[in-house]
Structure 1
Amino acid sequence: MELFPPIPLTEWQDTKETLHRFAQVVGKIRLAASARRNHWWNVPFHLTGRGITTRPMGQVDGNPVFTIDFDFVNHQLVVATLDGRAISLPLEGQSVASFHDNALDALAQLGVRARIAIPRPYDLPDAGRPFAEDTEHAAYDPVMANRYWQVLSQVALVLEEFAAGFSGKASPVHHFWHTFDIAHSRFSGRHIHQPPQVDPVTREAYSRELISFGFWFGDDTFAEPAFYSYTAPEPPALTGEPLKPATAHWVSRDDTHLAVLPYDAARAESDPRAAVLAFYESAYQAGSRRAGWDTARFGSPGGITDPHLQVPRP
């Protein structure tokens, strides 16, 4: 299979908008049914061999242990409980409203009391419209939905490879349903004071200094898929730091800056995987240098921290 197959936003934007809302329905169930973790690490999806999964949840909220998986090979939503029972729903032919209602009904049939505290989209243009009333978003192209999962899977492995080089506190490689990106973050350990007016989601996400690395599929403000990185809080003169490869650049977004490598630019490189790894490393060096991180202390060459094991064997 081709590494980093084409996925232009214009070819699947309607499907992406529908899938994004499907993911938020399931993600909000996960939010309610999982034990809270620092920086919201309990909330994102993880990759599987056929799609994305909530991972097991329940129990802490009085429900049986259950999972919800998106299968982008057979194009189904699979709701299952620990005792082996499962219900599958088609992804194609559903509006957000029918998906929402059918998913909750499937959970009820399995004895799961699903609770969505705020049953409408988060940080999307139609954030005021309940999921149960959204009949507008109903596009689902199976080919592009499968392509989305393929790209996620390939990017996840590159991020896992990059993550191996850091031994400090770091997030898993995970897929956020609220922003529809896949990301991995490294932390310096420094506490960050957040002003009282900052919203609860942001306060928890950025309570510690971090450098984040990821990939998103494009949106209305940046209409192309791209690899990205940012440092939070942003240190002075960050954009004066060089990035690799030559097609990577700094982009203003709100009041901060992103290091960006367009997906198609990475695809055009002779070795796309090496180009993305070089991009993430250059962004890490940029942020850590400007923020004064002890990169030597955090080093983990090849995923190894034991210096004895790092000595080449004859």
Structure 2
Amino acid sequence: MELFPPFPLDTWYDTKQTLHRFEQIVGKTRLRHSPRRNHWWHVPFHLTGTGITSRPMGMVDGNPVFTVDFDFVRHQLVASNIDGARVSFPLQGNSVASFYLRFQSALDSLGVDGSIPEAHPFDLPDAGRPFVEDHEHAVYVPEHATRYWQILSQVNLVLEEFSSGFSGKTSPVHHFWHTFDLAVTRFSPHPVPQPREAGELIREAYSREVVSFGFWFGDDNIPEPCFYSYTAPEPRGLTERQLAPTTAEWVDSGHGHLALLRYSDARKAPNPQATVLEFLESAYRAGAELAGWDIDALACPGGITDPYRARH
């Protein structure tokens, strides 16, 4: 299929709102039932050949090992355990409330305690409303869900290619149910003291210097899909650095600046994949050079650190 097909936010806004909350329900389950990893790496979803997965979880908390998958080809929520038991139900035709109840029932049938603390949206406008009371968000258009997954899959591989050029500490490429973005983050070993009042989310996520990269489908602030990058803490003079291609720009995010390449501009480029890689590299160098990272020492051309292979 076409690389980076058109997908304006207003085309699927209602499906996105519903699906975001479906994913937060499963994501909060992942948060509860998986061993904690630094920088919240245990929390996000990963891509699969038909959708996204929670990855296996359980066992450490007394529950059986179980996995939850969103299948955006067959449009099902699939839960299974290590004994081979499997439960599924359609994604279409559910409100957030009915999805929540059906999901709880599915986990119960697998012998999993599916209860989650704070069973309401995180950092969304209706954060004060319990999932079980949300009958408002109930739109799920299968074609839109499939296109969402297809674009995620394409961007995932571009970010994987970009990640191969860095030999330092880096996160997986993963899909956060909090912000509904696909992201990968590079870290320096330099600690960043965060004040207690910053909150646990920020203190863990930004305990080291980072340059982060990703893609999201748009929101109320920037209502179109974009590739992005940011450096934290933001070094002085960051926005004076030149980004590539020339259509990329620095924008104020309200608490710093984002390097932004609009999806529509990447699509129009003669080589969209190369254009996105060029953008990510320019944003990385802008932040890392000003932060004093040893870019040459951290480089990993072609994903190779074997010195013999690298010479040949």
Q: Deviations over 1:167-219 (max 9, x none)?
A: 00000000000000000000011100011211111110111100000000000
User: What aligned pairs does 1:179-190 form with structure 2 within 5 A after superposition?
Assistant: 179-190=179-190
Q: Partner of 1:98: helix, strand, or coil?
A: helix
TM-score by length of 1: 0.99
CA contact (8 A) 1:32 1:115 kept: no
One-letter identity of the residue aligned with 2:20: H
For 2:111, the aligned partner's letter is G
Identify the residue that residue 245 of structure 1 maps to in structure 2. Answer: 245
Match of 2:129 in 1: 129
Q: Distance in 1 between matches of 2:146 and 2:271?
A: 24
Give the aligned residue type for 1:225. P
Runs of 4+ displaced beyond 2 Å: none
> What CA distance in whole angstroms lies between the structure 2 residues aligned with 1:90 and 1:200?
35
> Within 1, Cα distance between the matches of 2:157 and 2:150?
11
Distance 2:123 2:75 in 1: 26
Q: CA deviation at 1:296?
A: 1.2
Distance 2:17 2:127 in 1: 13
- Deviation (angstroms), 1:310: 1.2
Shift in Å, 1:255: 2.4
Query: Match for residue 261 of structure 1?
Result: 261
Q: Report the Cα distance in structure 1 between the residues aligned to 2:132 and 2:203, rounded to whole angstroms.
A: 29
Structure 2 match to 1:191? 191
Q: Structure 2: how far apart are the matches of 1:56 and 1:255?
A: 35
Identity %, equivalent residues: 63
Amino acid at match of 1:9: L
Q: Report SS of the residue matched to 1:242.
A: coil
Amino acid of the structure 1 residue aligned with 2:231: T
TM-score, length of structure 2 as denominator length = 0.99
Instruction: Give the match for residue 29 of structure 2.
Output: 29
Q: What letter corresponds to residue 127 of structure 1 in structure 2?
A: A
C-alpha distance in 2, partners of 1:191/1:297?
19
Q: Secondary structure at the match of 2:188?
A: strand
Question: C-alpha displacement at 1:307, in angstroms?
Answer: 2.2
| CA–CA distance in structure 1, aligned partners of residues 255 and 109 of structure 2 | 47
CA displacement, residues 55-104 of structure 1 (integer Å, 9 cap, x when unaligned): 00000110000000000000000000111110111000100000001001
In structure 1, distance between residues paired with 2:117 and 2:211: 30
Shift of the alpha carbon at 1:117? 1.2
- Cα distance between partner residues in 1 of 2:60 and 2:201: 21
- Counterpart amino acid of residue 305 in structure 1: T
Tell whether the 8 Å contact from 1:194 to 1:203 is kept in structure 2 after alignment: yes
RMSD, aligned CA: 0.6
Distance 1:137 1:90 in 2: 16
Residue by residue over 1:102-128, the C-alpha shift from the partner in whole angstroms, topping out at 9 and shown as x without a partner, is 001000011101131110000000000
| Equivalent in the alignment of 1:108 | 108
What is the match of residue 167 of structure 1?
167
Structure 2 segments unaligned to the other structure (5+ residues): none
